[in-house]
Amino acid sequence: MTEQVFLSPAPAADTEDVLAVRDLNIHYTVREGFRKKTLKAVNGVDLSIRAGECLGLVGESGCGKSTLASAIMGLVPYTSGSVHVAGQDVPTAVKNDPLSQARNVQMVFQDPFASLNPRRSVRDALAAPLRLHGMKDKAEIEARVVDMLTKVGMKPEAADRRPHEFSGGQRQRICIARALIVEPKLLVCDEPVSALDVSIRAQIINLLLELKDELGIALLMISHDLGVVEHMSDRIAVMYLGRIVEEGVWSDIFTKPLHPYTQALIASIPDPLAAERHPRRMQGEAPSPLKPPSGCAFNPRCPSVFDACRQGDVPDFTKATGNPSHRARCHLLEHGSQKWVPVLG
């Protein structure tokens, strides 16, 4: 008997972006007393991901990563710019054909304990999306549920159990299975391992990588854990106070970071030799997005700040010498005075 394939095989190399974010702005009006202020949660962001590629999005808490993810999912409106997934404009798809949007992009959330209905069996949780998208044959639904459980490393008999019977890592596997069962082209993972035990994190990370390669999906990995992002990502985008401040392939970001903020983030990775390398350290806390500093938003904390950083507009992206795929927003680069600080040796 010929084995039936339920999930799409990895596609051939594609030159088009599965995710294309262009000049995205998400601004909110916030009232402080009698005054109204603008909170720029996401400010002029450009991102792209191709099929079979993982983009890591990193930054401190509150920098706008989850807001950006919500916009990609079509869960929040945005002020200006555009978001396209698989060639479809997200707000238009959400309005006119929400099921098509759901087929294009799915999300794995941070907390697997809150992501599953405790009253529904695993079979119900995985079958519901299939029924929603029009699948009616019970045998086909059952076969696909079992197939997806197997792909995420769960036994078929797990389908009859309820979420409270599983560990955190097992629940996250079930959440991944539920997200992938409708064959999305883009999977957004928002801190998918931060709520799990350290011993389980590597298993979930490796599972996501295996599924990405097997299914040929695009993966957006959002995390503040640089170790996770380094292990998973083909490219990395560093976000600070609503903006992307550096972008490049993972090896460039981790070995030759251009922006002082990226250098400080990498220096914060626990390393017994860090003290001998004298890495640059950040000072203070991130400013409020309601009261951003003039010029470069990182200037109050930057160890290399000079007059141009505090004045005028936000710096444009400057490409690394001889490496156009590696770029950063830094006045030091514009003035040709930025020096790489070897924080990792």
Question: pLDDT per residue over 191-232, tens digit each?
Answer: 998 888 888 888 999 999 999 999 999 999 999 888 888 889
| Residue-level pLDDT at 14 | 44
Q: Please give the sequence-ordered ranges of beta strands (E in DSSP) within 128-225, or none if there are none.
A: 186-190, 218-223
In percent, how much of the chain has pLDDT > 90? Answer: 59
- Write out the DSSP string of 308-324: HHHSSSPPPEEEETTEE
Q: Is residue 229 within 8 Å of 58, Cβ to Cβ?
A: yes
- The predicted pLDDT at position 309 comes to 87
- Residue 181 near residue 129 (C-beta atoms within 8 A): yes
Three-class SS state of 187: strand
Classify burial at 46, counting beta carbons within 10 Å of its beta carbon; exposed 0-12, middle 13-18, buried 19 or more: middle
Looking at residue 322, its pLDDT comes to 80
For helices 168-180 and 138-151, give the axis angle rounded to 10 degrees. Answer: 130
> How high is the pLDDT of residue 112?
86
**Does 252 have pLDDT greater than 80?**
yes
Average predicted confidence (pLDDT) for the chain: 86
Residue 262 has pLDDT above 60, yes or no: yes
How many CA atoms within 13 Å lie on the side-chain side of 306? 10
Task: Output DSSP code: residue 154.
Answer: -
> Between the CA of residue 191 and those of 59, 108, 124, 172, 290, what are the distances in Å?
12, 8, 25, 11, 25
Average confidence (pLDDT) over 172-179: 95
CA-CA-CA-CA torsion sign (231, 318, 15, 85) = positive
235 within 8 A of 53, measured Cβ to Cβ: yes
Region 82-86: what's the mean pLDDT? 96
Mean pLDDT value across residues 266-290 = 67
Choose between 274 and 2: higher pLDDT: 274
273 contact partners, CB below 8 Å, separation of at least 6: 345
| C-beta of residue 215 within 8 angstroms of C-beta of residue 10 | yes
Could you tell me the pLDDT band of residue 282, with boundaries at 50, 70 and 90? low
pLDDT tens per residue across span 6-58? 333 333 334 489 999 999 999 999 988 788 889 999 999 999 999 999 999 99
**pLDDT above 80 (res 336):** no
Whether the CB-CB separation of 253 and 74 falls below 8 Å is answered with: no
